[in-house]
């Protein structure tokens, strides 16, 4: 069971972040980090980061949280980007050893997220030294990977198809109604 200080920190974080922060068990938390909002209230980019942390019994006095990015929603990040993020989170937590640091670490991650996503895109575009050059540069990488795996949306539920479309775009299947005529304007012409 976490200490009273940790309980108070988790309660405060739940009230600050509402649906973007949750407790998955007594000593585990999950935070959804979105990029900072600009002056118009729009987030910079669309990607989010799911940070999970195990809180050891000796947290915060002697130990830092054990951060993890193993959530399936982080699969868009390269291994190098995940490693850089984890190193940064650990460094931030170690700087504040002895105090509750989750709020500070989450806010720091929010500030750094656009930079991490930009480096992730750069890493994804650079070919590995060991791999041969791609023969078909015009075809999206996600669509090619799906074809290689024999990916098919026929057996998917409606929600699974929607999530698939949100993640991969129009590379494999267009959403239902993408070419429908606006009914009101069509009837107005008669």
Domains, the chain, in order of start with CATH, read 4-125 (3.10.110.10), 141-188 (no CATH)
**φ and ψ at 185, to 5 degrees?**
-70, -35
How far is residue 54's CA from residue 31's CA, in Å, rounded to a whole number? 12
Q: Are 145 and 172 in contact (CB under 8 A)?
A: no
What's residue 124's pLDDT? 57
* For residue 132, pLDDT beyond 50: no
User: Comparing C-alpha atoms, which of 101, 73, 77, 80 is closest to residue 89?
Assistant: 101
Q: What percent of the chain has pLDDT over 70?
A: 63
* The model's pTM: 0.59
What's residue 112's pLDDT? 87
Tell me which of 22-26, 42-46, 141-145 is least confident.
141-145
Tell me which of 43-47, 142-146, 174-178, 186-190 is least confident.
142-146
172 versus 7: which is more confidently predicted? 7
Residue 57 makes CB contacts below 8 A (sequence gap 6+) with 2, 27
DSSP alpha helices (H): ranges in the chain? 4-17, 79-95, 102-125, 141-149, 158-168, 183-188
Tell me which of 2-6, 121-125, 164-168 is least confident.
121-125
What's residue 133's pLDDT? 45
């Amino acid at each position: 069971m976490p200490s009273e200080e940790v309980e108070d920190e988790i309660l405060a974080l739940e009230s600050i972040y509402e649906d973007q922060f949750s407790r998955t068990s007594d000593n585990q938390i999950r935070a959804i980090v979105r990029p900072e909002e600009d002056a118009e209230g729009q987030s910079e980019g669309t990607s989010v980061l799911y940070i999970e942390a195990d809180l050891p019994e000796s947290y915060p006095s002697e130990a830092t949280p054990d951060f993890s990015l193993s959530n399936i929603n982080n699969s868009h990040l390269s291994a190098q980007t995940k490693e850089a993020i984890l190193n940064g989170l650990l460094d931030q937590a170690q700087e504040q050893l002895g105090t509750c640091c989750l709020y500070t670490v989450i806010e720091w991650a929010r500030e750094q997220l656009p930079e991490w996503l930009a480096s992730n895109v750069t890493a994804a575009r650079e070919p590995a030294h060991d791999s041969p050059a791609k023969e078909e540069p015009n075809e999206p990488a996600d669509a090619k990977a799906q074809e290689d795996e024999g990916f098919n949306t026929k057996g998917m539920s409606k929600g699974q198809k929607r999530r698939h479309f949100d993640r991969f775009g129009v590379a494999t299947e267009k959403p239902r109604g993408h070419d429908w005529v606006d009914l009101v304007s069509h009837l107005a012409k008669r």
